[in-house]
Amino acid sequence: MRIRPHITRFTLLTAALLCACVARWGRANDGPVVDELALKEQQALAAAVERVAPAVVQIRTIGGLERVDDTVLAQGPTTGLIVRDDGYIVSSAINFAQQPASTLVRLADGTQHPAEIVGRDHNRMLVLLKIDVDEPLTAPVATPLADIRVGQRAAAVGRTFVASRVNISTGVVSALGRMNGRVLQTDAKASAANYGGPLVDLSGRVMGVLVPMAPQMSSSAEEPSEVAGAEYYDSGIAFAVPLEHVLSVLPRWIDQGDLKRGLLGIGLAAGSPYATEPRITTIWPRSPAAEAGWQAKDLITAIDGQPVVSQTQLRRQIVPHYAGDQVAVTLQRGEGDDAETLETEVTLAAKLPTYQQAFLGVLPQRASSQSESNAKAKADAEQGEAGVIVRAVWPDSPAAAAGLVAGDRLTRIGDEPVASTAEAVKVLAAATAGEETTIAFVHDGEEIEHTIVADTLPTAVLNKSDLPAATARRSEESAATTADNGERALADLKLPEFGQVARVLEPAESGAAPGLILWLGSADAEINERLIRSWTSVVDGDRVVFVVAPPSDAAGWTGGDLEYLDRLLPAAVAQYGADVRRTIVAGEGKAGQLAFAMALKSRGRLAGVAAVGAPLPRTLVVPDNAPGAPLAVLTIATENSPFSVLVNRDARRLLDAGYPVSQAARRGAPSHNGLLNSATRSVIARWLDGLDRF
Amino acid sequence: MTHTNLTSRTTRRLGERRALRCVIAASLVAIMACSVSIGAARAAMPVIRDVQRKVVKIYGAGGLRQMEAYQSGILVSAEGHVVTALSYVLDTDDVAAVLDDGRKFSVEFVGSDPVLELAVLKLNLGDEQVSWFDLKEAAAAAPGEPVLAVSNLYGIAAGDEPASILQGVVTAIAPLEARRGAFQANYRGDVYVVDAHANNPGAAGGALVDWRGRLLGVLGKELKSRVTGAWLNYALPVETWAGSVEAIIAGRNATGSPGLALAPEEPLTLADLGVVLVPNLLARTPAYLDAVRPGSPAASAGLRPDDLIVFVAGEPTASCSEVIETLGRIDRRDELRMAVLREGELVDVVLAAEIDEEPAGPPSSAGEVDEPAADESDSTEPAAGESNREGA
């Protein structure tokens, strides 16, 4: 006989106890056959379930998805609970995760009714249905929350296996106020057999509605998954939303349709949420917190009069609330004797406004070499001439309106002096588009102050004429030189753990930190070589390192290559000292789709993604653009290609998520190998050249 | 255990280890409860001890990864007949049974019922005496009634240790709509579904008893429910197999096992009805009518394009595939009742049988969706889903 190693310990323990028990039984053969009291209790519970059974309905969905994420959805019928006699029925959100085309409800009396979805409760993972009824239905009685005790008997009830009879599993109430105070916990077995059904007490009242639920580890604004927690089925850990709560929120639910989680729009100090005080580090622009006048470094001390001293306690007070709820929040601003207490009211939001980065319209001068840059910084410091030299001004930008021109020196944004591009970017990251601020700059030796209104990041690609003539001319010269000198050798870039070899072309002359294009190329080395050569004038003229990576499989790029690319990018950036603000990933077709996947996953390590003839990958969830990790997007649709509709639709999606999306079109057939004509290359180059804008 | 080793059985529940812990805790609770006067559901000690004597540990073939070389069995006669699951464990001449007191017997294979997937063994008792369940005294239970599952799950009981006891209630009495990997269970009749983790590895062939120690059923092999997508804990009720087992013991062939539906002589097709469904592109394409052939039974019954078929012959149908599959179980010479959703209303229709020996007329595109039912369901359903899930 073979025993799995991991159970050996239990085997020994059980064996020992079993032996002990058996030894005792040997002497006790004269007791009653059955504990009648326990049997009666069990029978009482079954009787209580029968009293609730008329309110338990069977739900059938028609059409829809077979799986959500990695969870294969139950194919059979599911359960719902009548909550109001005029036809309102509540169920678990997982029963509707497949987004069915139609829904049928079968009542306990066997009649079938088409149902419509009134709305969802995204905070407690419930769905509200409505059926038309001629006669009032039987709605169950809710157990008052205050009467529910840990340890009391409970039965989980569904109407899944057979329509004519409810299915029952029994246990006890394991805990109250789980999941930040939103649900009860029970050890009665819960699964697709009873999600959406009631948790019944011994008196035939309903304590709650069974739902799968998983803790949300982050406070992110992303919607929780409807299938989260389903993997805990039948485990002895099950949850139920108190029916008392459902009934209290029902009028508002019917009125609003969907109930959403309520968000504040703040970031908190890092550390264990149990031990760290709820001190605000960031305020999301235009969020409820911002509207209430909260500031970074404020400390939250109480919610609705309840003192909170840890981030966990704060969550426990906020998470049960819905969007639209008004919450009284007490803040402490300042430290020690200067500390003041502020009483504020916030109205929680369902969604935080998409982040729109503030934009001035400045293209900073890039130091032509590292040594020159150091020398200049030293000289500036000595002469008190710190600031950012303007290389060019974006047309029709706030900076252009303020009269800034190339060669001026920007010295201050708002109250913050700016000595470098990095500092300017940091100041602007905290601001939002539409905000009024002042800038100071030196023009012809004279300091000028001007009030401007920050704009959103531009989506237009600069024309050649908008950029300093020197750059354009130099690029032509370089192209000529290269042609004269013949072909330069390409460098190889290989990561030890991966078989692929990426090929690299560096700018001919040394100088400032270059930009970097990571191009997802072909499996064919010859095509990659032709591709990389075609970019020579951009590489030299705009100072860009061009890296072509091949897929691991000759058939092309797959999601499995993401790991390779995630490792290749930092290696290339480090090797060539690339400027992250001008580092992008690009590709055509399938490679372009993977470029999207990579860029949206590794925001903060890339300034942009350029995709040619590539819609977003079908299963990709687009996260909202976020402060601190801005990403620019360039989509190039191939004219007359069937994909161009999708490409343009997805550009819209990305715009809605707050990304600056530049759109361009190219003529001709899809190249399938990334070899583009010079016009398209030029668009990508000019877009990239403008990415270090602020 | 590495990721690649994960198979359906180890992904079975989040942390089988925890499930196992629960199982052990549950069995200990049940056993310990006998000696204390408070606690939850319980039967008295003599009852449990008596039941344990009638459940045997069976050791045979297997031992490879995910194929335990042991299972459980129930003694059903003084001569040593044992009812157990028909499985690979019995695929060897070297099968042994060990009683609760450690007595070990070689066994001979008496016979099996392939539909119920049960086998009858006989212990070579010699002069030894054993306790056994009298099938004539078997009981029945209703949903909500407390029960005990008695088996050697996980092979925890070794040597002279009696089988483990798990407590629970009957969750439902329902048809066995289950599948094992890509294969369906042969048996389709009613089973006891219980809320204890009764059907873990090694439990197959164990006993489900009520609190008075009366036999209710035999624990089946590990299966996933088609209805809930979850692992099923169930037992085959005694009345479904007692006759078959008695026949095997008496030396007759097992006959009359319930649960096998006979395929109709002439299965009904969509073309017979005169309807075309929308192209069946997804796993769960809703069964909307794309076209109705004029003069067909469907047209006479008043069906229209854009109607959504939701019931066929009383069975709910959630997709095109299910409509086709259900029609395949109906003889084309029978009258057919259907229900459709039309503008949010449920509409019942009766389609008269069409006795028409001519091949079905236009629309000819009907052939596209008019595949034999079995092929449809096999290609679109669980098999693919299962493997993808494991791969993920």
Q: Do residues A460 and A683 make contact, with C-beta atoms less than 8 angstroms apart?
A: no
pLDDT at A419 over 90: no
Please state, in angstroms and rounded to a whole number, the distance separating the CA atoms of residues B235 and B194.
Answer: 8
Report chain B residues whose CB lies below 8 A from the CB of A189.
171, 195
pLDDT at A353 over 70: yes
Report chain A residues whose CB lies below 8 A from the CB of B145.
42-43, 46
Report chain A residues whose CB lies below 8 A from the CB of B19.
235
Q: What is the pLDDT of residue A574?
A: 92
Q: What is the pLDDT of residue A551?
A: 93
Q: Are residues B168 and B97 in the same domain?
A: yes
Give me the domain span that covers residue B23.
3-249
Report chain A residues whose CB lies below 8 A from the CB of B346.
104, 112-114
Please state, in angstroms and rounded to a whole number, the distance separating the CA atoms of residues A354 and A656.
Answer: 8
Q: Is some CB atom of chain A closer than 8 A to the CB atom of B342?
A: no
Q: Is A472 helix (H, G, I), strand (E, B) or coil?
A: helix
Structure confidence at residue A67 as a pLDDT band (50, 70, 90): confident
Structure confidence at residue A179 as a pLDDT band (50, 70, 90): very high
Q: Are residues B294 and B148 in the same domain?
A: no
Interface of A with B in 88-117 (CB under 8 A): 98, 101-102, 104, 112-114, 116
Mutate to test the interface with A, among B23, B45, B177, B211 (most CBs of A within 10 A): B45
Structure confidence at residue A26 as a pLDDT band (50, 70, 90): very low
Q: Are residues B314 and B244 in the same domain?
A: no
For the stretch A115-142, pLDDT in tens is 999 999 999 999 999 999 999 999 999 9
Query: Shortest CB distance from B43 goes to which of A24, A28, A34?
Result: A34
Please state, in angstroms and rounded to a whole number, the distance separating the CA atoms of residues B392 and B388.
Answer: 6
Q: Is A152 helix (H, G, I), strand (E, B) or coil?
A: coil
All domains of chain A in start order, with CATH: 46-163+187-214+236-256 (2.40.10.120), 266-347 (2.30.42.10), 358-456 (2.30.42.10), 464-689 (3.40.50.1820)
Q: How do beta strands A583-588 and A515-520 pair?
A: parallel
What is the arithmetic mean of pLDDT over A356-369? 81
Of A265 and B81, more confident: B81
Q: Are residues B235 and B360 in the same domain?
A: no
| B322: in domain | yes
Please state, in angstroms and rounded to a whole number, the distance separating the CA atoms of residues A281 and A394.
Answer: 32
Q: Do residues A447 and A409 make contact, with C-beta atoms less than 8 angstroms apart?
A: no
| B257: in domain | no
Q: Nearest C-alpha of chain A: how many angstroms from B298?
A: 21
The letter for the amino acid at A252 is R
Specify the range with the lowest mean pLDDT, choosing from A49-58, A260-269, B1-10, B211-220: B1-10
CA A104, A108, A114 angle in degrees (round to 5)? 15
**Of A226, A220, A224, A196, which is closest to residue A210 (Cα–Cα)?**
A196
Tell me which H or E stretch contains A636: strand A632-638
Distances (CA, A) of B272 to B97, B263, B298: 56, 17, 9
Mutate to test the interface with A, among B47, B51, B169, B278 (most CBs of A within 10 A): B169
Alpha helices (H) in A319-369, listed in sequence order: none
Q: What is the pLDDT of residue A380?
A: 63
Q: Is some CB atom of chain B closer than 8 A to the CB atom of A618?
A: no
CATH of the domain at B117: 2.40.10.120
As a whole number of angstroms, the longest Cα–Cα distance in chain B is 78
Report chain A residues whose CB lies below 8 A from the CB of B41.
38-39, 42
Q: Do residues A584 and A517 make contact, with C-beta atoms less than 8 angstroms apart?
A: yes
Specify the range with the lowest mean pLDDT, choosing from A186-200, A609-623, B364-378: B364-378
Q: Do residues A561 and A594 make contact, with C-beta atoms less than 8 angstroms apart?
A: yes
Q: Are residues B299 and B234 in the same domain?
A: no
Specify the range with the lowest mean pLDDT, choosing from A56-70, A308-322, A536-550: A56-70
CATH of the domain at B344: 2.30.42.10
Report chain B residues whose CB lies below 8 A from the CB of A22.
49, 161-162
ipTM value > 0.90: no
Contact call for B386 and A101, based on CB within 8 A: no
Q: Are residues B226 and B358 in the same domain?
A: no
Average pLDDT of every residue of chain A? 85
Q: What tens-digit pLDDT sequence spans chain B (392 residues)?
A: 334 333 344 344 444 444 554 455 455 444 444 443 333 446 677 889 999 999 999 999 988 777 889 999 999 999 999 999 999 999 998 999 999 999 999 999 999 998 889 999 999 999 999 999 999 999 999 999 999 999 999 999 989 999 999 999 999 999 888 766 545 677 888 999 999 999 999 999 999 999 999 999 999 999 888 888 889 999 999 999 999 999 999 987 655 444 445 567 788 888 888 999 988 877 788 899 999 999 899 999 999 999 999 888 888 888 888 888 888 888 887 888 999 998 888 899 998 866 554 444 444 443 343 334 434 333 333 333 333 333 33
| B262: in domain | no
Question: What's chain B look like in SS3?
Answer: CCHHHCCCCCCCCCCHHHHHHHHHHHHHHHHHHCCCCCCCCCECHHHHHHHHHCEEEEECCCCCCCCCCEEEEEECCCCCEEEEECCHHHCCCCCEEECCCCCEEEEEEEEEECCCCEEEEEECCCCCCCCCCCHHHCCCCCCCCEEEEEECHHHCCCCCCCCEEEEEEEEEEEECCEEECCEECCCCCEEEEECCCCCCCCCCCCEEEECCCCEEEEECCCEEECCCCCEECEEEEHHHHHHHHHHHHCCCCCCCCCCCCCCCCCECCHHHHCEEECCCCCCCCCCEEEEECCCCHHHHCCCCCCCEEEEECCEECCCHHHHHHHHCCCECCCCEEEEEEECCEEEEEEECCCCCCCCCCCCCCHHHHCCCHHHHHHHHCHHHHHHHHHHC
CA atoms within 13 A on the CB side of B70: 26
Q: Are residues B229 and B297 in the same domain?
A: no
Q: Nearest C-alpha of chain A: how many angstroms from B52?
A: 10
Structure tokens at A320: 């049960």
Q: What is the pLDDT of residue A335?
A: 87
Q: Is some CB atom of chain A closer than 8 A to the CB atom of B19?
A: yes
Structure confidence at residue A271 as a pLDDT band (50, 70, 90): confident
* Other residues' Cβ atoms within 10 Å of the Cβ of residue B4: 6
Q: Is some CB atom of chain B closer than 8 A to the CB atom of A36?
A: no
Q: Are residues B87 and B230 in the same domain?
A: yes
Please state, in angstroms and rounded to a whole number, the distance separating the CA atoms of residues A430 and A368.
Answer: 29
Q: Is some CB atom of chain A closer than 8 A to the CB atom of B53?
A: no
Q: Do residues B367 and B343 make contact, with C-beta atoms less than 8 angstroms apart?
A: no
Q: What is the pLDDT of residue A232?
A: 86
Q: Are residues B59 and B176 in the same domain?
A: yes
Contact call for B385 and A72, based on CB within 8 A: yes
Q: What is the pLDDT of residue B180?
A: 60
Q: How far apart, in Å, do the first and last CA atoms of chain A sit?
A: 71
For the stretch A221-249, pLDDT in tens is 456 678 888 888 999 999 999 999 999 99
Interface of A with B in 626-685 (CB under 8 A): none
**Of B83, B74, B130, B147, which is closest to residue B110 (Cα–Cα)?**
B83
Which chain B residue's Cα is nearest to A232? B14
Percent of chain A's residues with pLDDT above 90: 53
Q: How far apart, in Å, do the first and last CA atoms of chain B sit?
A: 16
Interface of A with B in 177-196 (CB under 8 A): 188-189, 191-193
Print burial letters for A560-570: b (CB count within 10 Å at least 16), e (below 16): ebeebbeebbe
Q: Are residues B290 and B218 in the same domain?
A: no
Which chain B residue's Cα is nearest to A11? B156
Q: Are residues B313 and B175 in the same domain?
A: no
| B265: in domain | no
Contact call for A161 and B172, based on CB within 8 A: yes
**The length of chain B, given as a count of residues:** 392
Tell me which H or E stretch contains A393: strand A388-393
Of B228 and A8, more confident: B228
Please state, in angstroms and rounded to a whole number, the distance separating the CA atoms of residues B157 and A250.
Answer: 52
Please state, in angstroms and rounded to a whole number, the distance separating the CA atoms of residues A511 and A368.
Answer: 5
Structure confidence at residue A445 as a pLDDT band (50, 70, 90): confident
Backbone torsions φ then ψ of B26, nearest 5 degrees: -65, -45
| B260: in domain | no
Q: Are residues B53 and B124 in the same domain?
A: yes
What is the arithmetic mean of pLDDT over A472-492? 60
Contact call for B171 and A104, based on CB within 8 A: no
Q: What is the pLDDT of residue B42?
A: 63
| B224: in domain | yes
How many structural domains compose chain B?
Answer: 2
Please state, in angstroms and rounded to a whole number, the distance separating the CA atoms of residues A639 and A169.
Answer: 61
| B41: in domain | yes
Q: Is some CB atom of chain A closer than 8 A to the CB atom of B154?
A: yes
Of B268 and A374, more confident: B268
